[in-house]
Structure 1
Amino acid sequence: MTEPSDAAVFRLGYVPGVTPGKWVRLWSERRPEVPLELVAATTDEAVDLVRAGAVDAAVVRLPIDRTGLHAIPLYTETTVALVPKDHVLTAVEEATVADLADEIVLRPQDDTLPWPADRPGRAAAYTPETTAEAVELVGAGVGLLVVPQSLARLHHRRDLTYRPLTDAPGSGVALTWPDAENSELMEEFIGIVRGRSATSSRTPRREATPARAPARRSVARRRPGRGGTHRR
């Protein structure tokens, strides 16, 4: 396991919608001497940054090409349909994929949902480049958007709402990092995202300065008191 340098910095890539705040807080408590820098990116960009060594690790949405990478699943998000507030879908609390069959479903180029190419819904004539652009089109009434729930919350607007799709595949979120010997800092971050306590045996600990051994106390021989018995 490699040791961090005195000027070490841990760089973490993350995709929109992911909230790494809790991990950053725990990191600052456990390794206050090592800054943690956040780098926002799409999943494809984050994977490229990990492979190039520009970031130490990244929190991404699955699926990804795992060649040369470690990846551990963290959680799965609910998939939702983002629609205008006056859309017919808002008449129900939950929807199904079949409910989208006659709808125009926007598919931005940065879409990473694990859906097949022939997923339900009619394709729009125009393909937005980003999720943010697609959200603008939803607001304009062009179509609806299928996204992980965290992205629907991230792009919250007063004129839009969303409904969970009960039978749609979930959106997996994973931590990925290079398939090589882990540094001490990498092991520390893995422990944080997996919920290990600071005292866990699998969480690396920095060497502490050895404490001085207590001074040895001399033990005086006990002398018999005046009332003791003496041999002659």
Structure 2
Amino acid sequence: MTDSADSPSFRLAYVPGVTPAKWVRVWEQRSPDVPLTLVQVEPAEASDVLRDGRADAGLVRLPVDRTVLSAIPLYTETTVAVVPKDHVITAAEEITLDDLADEVVLHPLDDVLGWERPPGEPAFERPATTADAIELVAANIGVLVVPQSLARLHHRRDLTYRPVTDAPQSSVALSWPEDATTDLVEDFIGIVRGRTVNSTRGRTRPQLEKGAEKGAEQGTARRKPAAGSRTTGTTPQGARSGGARSGAAKSGGARGAAAKGGAKGARRGKPRRRS
């Protein structure tokens, strides 16, 4: 978000479970004069925060309203079942939804997997948040199925998790208002896509073209002779030395031919008379 032309800043929203630290570090290295502010939002609020301009872009969970927001999918998470450490399913490395058929599966109101009804037996009421559901799992009230990042976010020593191979998955994307694709948004897009600082894509291209034009001008200036210098009748040094070497070669060749010819002439002369 740009406060003014002289003091730009960038606000990045992110939902729980997403860790933007690696991209923020790159931003700070490339744009130290443009402060980046992180704004944590709940998944259900993320789209409103972007539409209202409270953030320039956001790391959100799909789906988003693509009629208003642009989105670049970044990755898809593994879905896991969070259970007490002594739960029977911990005997397996991974499980399926059928393994949860006899379990009470908690379904928090801030669920991000998008299913209408999880597998297993429903709880008497839905927990308000994922954090509340974690507390119920610790109390042996039921199990919870969530993206792996949320299981890690709410980690407890008395709980563990196992991948659920056939469960719905949650994808994370970079999103921003389609009609507000600013230069700063383009810069952050380049970062999450792994573009180098010298990439020719995005807003860096005009800068590179300007640098190329400057280099061409400098090259022209070096080739242009200085005012008042003599430019006629001048032979490059390489040409002079090359010519000298060529002349020497010809001279040497002539001497060699003369010497050779002389030797042959001596053999063709009149033999010496014996006494």
Per-residue deviation, 1:221:
5.0
Structure 1 match to 2:252 = none
C-alpha separation in 1, matches of 2:117 and 2:123: 13
Per-residue deviation, 1:157:
0.8
Per-residue deviation, 1:7:
1.2
SS of corresponding position for 1:123: coil
Letter paired with 1:63: P
Matches within 5 A, 1:166-205: 166-205=165-204
- Residue by residue over 1:134-175, the C-alpha shift from the partner in whole angstroms, topping out at 9 and shown as x without a partner, is 111111111111110011111111100000001112211111
Which of the pair is proportionally richer in strand?
1
SS of corresponding position for 1:180: helix
Unaligned runs of 5+ in 1: 225-232
Letter paired with 1:152: A
Are the aligned partners of 2:77 and 2:169 in contact in 1 as well (CA < 8 Å)? yes
Matches within 5 A, 1:79-118: 79-115=79-115, 117-118=116-117
Structure 2 match to 1:43 = 43
TM-score, structure 1 as length reference: 0.87
Matches within 5 A, 1:212-223: 213=218, 218=226, 219-221=229-231
- Residue by residue over 1:84-103, the C-alpha shift from the partner in whole angstroms, topping out at 9 and shown as x without a partner, is 00111101110001111111
Structure 1 match to 2:134 = 135
C-alpha separation in 2, matches of 1:109 and 1:5: 42
Structure 1 match to 2:63 = 63
Are the aligned partners of 1:77 and 1:172 in contact in 2 as well (CA < 8 Å)? yes
Letter paired with 1:28: E
Structure 1 match to 2:9 = 9
Which of the pair is proportionally richer in helix?
2
C-alpha separation in 2, matches of 1:49 and 1:83: 33
C-alpha separation in 2, matches of 1:111 and 1:221: 81
Per-residue deviation, 1:65:
3.1
C-alpha separation in 1, matches of 2:159 and 2:225: 77
Per-residue deviation, 1:217:
5.6
Q: How many residues align?
A: 221
Are the aligned partners of 2:107 and 2:118 in contact in 1 as well (CA < 8 Å)? no
> Which structure's CA Rg is the greater one?
2
Letter paired with 2:179: A
Structure 2 match to 1:54 = 54
